[in-house]
Amino acid sequence: MLQAGLMMDRPLLISGIIEHAAAQFGDVEVVSRETHGPLFRYTYEQCAARSRKLANALKGLGLEAGSAVGSIAWNNHRHLEAYFAVSGSGMVMHTCNPRLAPQQLIYIINHAEDAAMLFDSTFAPLIKGIAPYCPKVKNWICLSDAANMPAIEGVSMVCYEDLIAPHSELFDWPEFDERSGAALCYTSGTTGNPKGALYSHRAIVINAISGCLPGILSLSPSDAILPVVPMFHINAWCIPYAAPIGGARLVLPGPRLDGASLYELMEGERVTVSAGVPTIWLGLMQYVEEHGLRFSTMKRTGVGGSAMPAALIAKFVDNYGVEVRHGWGMTETTAVATMSCLSPKNRELSPVEQHAVIARQGKSVFGTEIKVVDEYGATLPRDGVAQGELMVRGQWIVSGYYKGEVSPLVDGWFPTGDIATIDAHGVMQIRDRAKDVIKTGGEWISSIDLESAAMGHPAVAMAAVIGVKHPKWDERPLLFVVRKPGKTVEREEILAFLTERVAKWWVPDDVIFLEALPVGGAGKVQKGDLRKQYGGVFS
């Protein structure tokens, strides 16, 4: 018979994170770029005190455990306080992506039954448009001081600073089951309505602890971390929880995510770690290269959300000495589920070979397990060749969608819709989204691999590949290229470049040059838009 362990059964709660930081790293700074005015700075102790004030204020508004509180906001200090106050009180923090279409925003706010909405003044026009369609939102709270409040015709709102001012800095955080819902984030919903992933306290706390591990982001009091990944997208990969656990300074970039603004913040605030999607790093790298700059404190950056091209990894590592931590995850996996890493053997490889290892999505992080399966659900061998749908399970993977009637799980595993291989060492490589993979003459071409190869050309700033209907081959690849500013390159040169790097039948049938690629809410290229416009060009 099993023996009960004789350990205390203390719940893993989000309130415990900010109280830990206040007690242990009370003087460690949080720096925040605001929508208005100069950089704001305070300490974890002050952040905790203001989070408690907000918790009292929300209670004063009549909100109670289980209520959903929405946010449409940048990465800034008031949004951070809401992360702790809302979840810490037993309410659900519903972060909304402001870049969703207004109809989708209205859908998710109503679906989540948000009773209050916290928003940055930047989004005043958006709020004006959606408020009449969100009848359950009784409190519109602008994350602002009185001096910078916008006027929104027809919406009665309160100013955040006025709301919390009269309240006490003392609040008794409730204790409850760690499996309770803490935060809600909807998928971007390219097909059908967005679906809600409701993260539990337990999932977030365990994931955030793992984010501090040396092989993940390695967060400690010696670090200053700048999460570029938005707090409205998968809780900024749990960094706002991980930094106070590890005691790292937290530098929040607010609304300015261009290369110049990020560089200024990284240098000015002595940032050592950052995290974001590849398109952000492209912008930063272009700015740094154009101006002949160096990073004086940056040591490593987490990257994910879409594949990081090997050419960009090479630039960070070889030219700037910044290590790249390439991870894979999705809304349904709370944050990072797999992470690339170099084994001692890999370190004996040439730099180019090492970058190719980092360009893969890596090994499952403790707490998650992965496998790839064929179309009948049979597990495929871990040989680095057999490719099939990636399945994932673990302590911070969704078991179902919010108010969803049908479980998405298959035999207890979550089917990701990604096509991947896993090698004998457990290293996973995403080959494509199932819907993006190109099927030509019965064989598969990975659009990710083609894009990565095209991005290796020195005149290419961004590349995207889609499968386009073809009368003979079913589908053929079509390449879209955005040239780097001031560079010239033509179709033939790009195709010749690719011919040297990929199988002949992979070489795209045509190249279309665009000024910019359509990029969606989370900074990812919207291939659906490209398919809609160009899907018939070879027919």
The amino acid at residue 239 is I
Which residue has 């539990």 as its token pair?
200
Give the distance, in angstroms, between the CA of residue 484 and the centroid of all CA atoms in the same chain: 25
Task: Note whether 69 binds ligand AMP by CB under 6 A.
Answer: no
| Minimum CB–partner distance for residue 385 and ligand AMP (Å) | 19
Complex with ligand AMP: residue 30 or 93, whichever CB lies closer: 93
Binding range to ligand AMP, per CB under 6 A, among 147-155, 174-182, 324-332, 451-459: 324-332
* CA neighbours closer than 13 Å in the CB half-sphere of residue 107: 16
Q: How far is the CB of 304 from ligand AMP (least distance, A)?
A: 4
Sign of CA dihedral 15, 18, 21, 23: negative
C-beta closer to ligand AMP: residue 25 or 186: 186
* C-beta of residue 323 within 8 angstroms of C-beta of residue 275: no
Residue 328 touching ligand AMP (CB under 6 A): yes
Residues 184-223 that bind ligand AMP (CB under 6 A): 187-188
Nearer of residues 299 and 433 to ligand AMP, judged by Cβ: 433
Residue (21 or 358) nearer to ligand AMP, CB: 358
Residue 235 binds ligand AMP, judged by CB under 6 A: no
d(C-alpha 143, C-alpha 150), whole Å: 10
Category of 190 on φ-ψ map: left (φ > 0), alpha (ψ -120 to 50) or beta? alpha
Closest contact distance (angstroms) between CB of 383 and ligand AMP is 20
Residue 334 annotated among the catalytic residues of the structure: no
Q: Which of 19, 269, 332, 389 is catalytic?
A: 332
Q: 3-class DSSP state for residue 165?
A: coil
Specify whether 190 is catalytic: no
* Known catalytic membership, residue 187: yes
Check binding of 307 to ligand AMP (CB under 6 A). Answer: yes
- The reply to whether 306 sits near ligand AMP by the rule CB under 6 A is yes
Asked if 526 interacts with ligand AMP (CB under 6 A), we say no
- Can you tell me which residue has the tokens 């360009």? 359
State the CB neighbour count (10 A cutoff) for residue 145.
Answer: 15
Contacts of 9 (CB under 8 A, 6+ apart): none
Beta-strand ranges (E) seen in 212-362 are 224-227, 249-252, 273-276, 300-303, 323-329, 336-339
Given the residues 323, 444, 469, 524, the one annotated as active site: 444
In single-letter form, the type of residue at position 245 comes to I
Terminal alpha carbon distance of the chain: 68
Under rule CB under 6 A, residue 433 binds ligand AMP = yes
Sheet bearing 249-252, strands edge to edge:
40-43, 29-32, 249-252, 224-227, 273-276, 300-303, 323-329, 336-339, 363-364
Contacting range for ligand AMP; rule: CB under 6 A; set: 49-57, 289-297, 326-334, 343-351:
326-334
| Smallest gap from residue 286 Cβ to ligand AMP (A) | 21
User: What does DSSP assign to residue 329?
Assistant: E
Residue 450 touches ligand AMP, criterion: CB under 6 A:
no
Give DSSP secondary structure letters for 357-395. HHHS-BEEPTTEEEEEE-TTSPBPPSSSS--EEEEEEET
Smallest CA-to-CA distance from 231 within 40, 455, 78 is with 78
Q: Which residues contact 528 (CB under 8 A, 6 or more apart)?
A: 190
89 counts as binding ligand AMP under rule CB under 6 A: no
Pick 309 or 508: Cβ nearer ligand AMP: 309
Which residue from 19, 269, 389, 418 is in contact with ligand AMP, where contact means CB under 6 A? 418
- Among 18-26, 328-336, 405-413, 501-509, the segment contacting ligand AMP (CB under 6 A): 328-336
Backbone angles phi, psi at 194, to 5 degrees: -60, 150
How many residues touch ligand AMP under the rule CB under 6 A: the total is: 18
Q: Considering beta carbons, is residue 33 or 355 the nearer one to ligand AMP?
A: 355
Cβ-based neighbour number of residue 284 at 10 Å:
26
Over the window 350 to 389, marking each residue x when it contacts ligand AMP by CB under 6 A and - when it does not, the resulting string is: -----------x----------------------------
**Among the listed residues 276, 305, 508, 523, the single contact to ligand AMP using CB under 6 A:** 305
Is residue 227 involved in binding ligand AMP (CB under 6 A)?
no
Residue 331 as a binder of ligand AMP (CB under 6 A): the answer is: yes
The active-site residue, picked from 187, 279, 331, 334, is 187
**Cβ-closest residue to ligand AMP?**
330
Whose Cβ is closer to ligand AMP: residue 167's or residue 360's?
Answer: 360
Token readout for 301 is: 């950056």
Burial 321-351 (b: 16+ CB within 10 A, else e): ebbbbbbbbbbbbbbbbbbbbeeeebeeeee
Provide the minimum distance between the beta carbon of 295 and ligand AMP in the complex, in angstroms, as a whole number.
Answer: 22
**Closest separation in Å from C-beta 361 to ligand AMP:** 5
330 binds ligand AMP (CB under 6 A): yes
Nearer to ligand AMP, 329 or 508 (CB): 329
Point out which span in 64-72, 125-133, 260-268, 321-329 binds ligand AMP (CB under 6 A).
321-329
Looking at the Cβ atoms of 164 and 217, the one nearer to ligand AMP is 217
- Closest to ligand AMP by CB, 210 vs 306, is 306
By CB under 6 A, residue 522 contacts ligand AMP: yes
What's the CA angle centered on 192, arms 189 and 198, to 5 degrees? Answer: 50
**Rounded to an integer, what distance in angstroms lies between the CA atom of residue 159 and that of residue 140?**
9
- Residues annotated as catalytic are 187, 332, 439, 444
* Chain residues that interact with ligand AMP, rule: CB under 6 A: 187-188, 234, 304-307, 326, 328-331, 361, 416, 418, 430, 433, 522
